[in-house]
């Protein structure tokens, strides 16, 4: 997903996508350990997707905290 698409989602939807991405990363690690994974570049793209989701999730949390904390 592109960052613009992720920013359009709600916090719960981002967390759901993050859970799915982590599960997919686990499956990739398992496939690599058993020798079934042929495309190792999927590791890198999956790690980047997880990092992108975490970054945008943190941005939204900070924005929400900033709006509520300022007078």
What is the full per-residue pLDDT of the chain (71 aa) written as tens digits?
899 999 999 999 999 999 999 999 999 999 999 999 889 999 999 999 999 999 999 999 999 898 876 54
Domains and CATH numbers, the chain: 3-69 (1.10.287.310)
Contact by Cβ (8 Å): 14, 60:
yes
Cα 17 from Cα 52, distance rounded (Å): 11
pTM of the predicted model, to two decimals? 0.86
Tell me the three-class secondary structure of the chain, residue by residue. CCHHHHHCCCHHHHHHHHHHHHHHHHHHHHHHHHCCCCCCHHHHHHHHHHHHHHHHHHHHHHHHHHHHHCC
pLDDT of residue 29: 94
SS3 call for 40 = coil
């Amino acid at each position: 997903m592109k960052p613009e698409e992720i920013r359009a989602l709600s916090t719960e939807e981002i967390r759901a996508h993050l859970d799915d991405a982590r599960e997919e990363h686990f499956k990739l690690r398992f496939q690599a350990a058993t020798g079934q994974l042929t495309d190792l570049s999927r590791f890198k793209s999956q790690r980047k997707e997880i990092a992108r989701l975490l970054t945008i999730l943190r941005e939204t949390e900070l924005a929400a905290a900033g709006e509520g904390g300022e007078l």
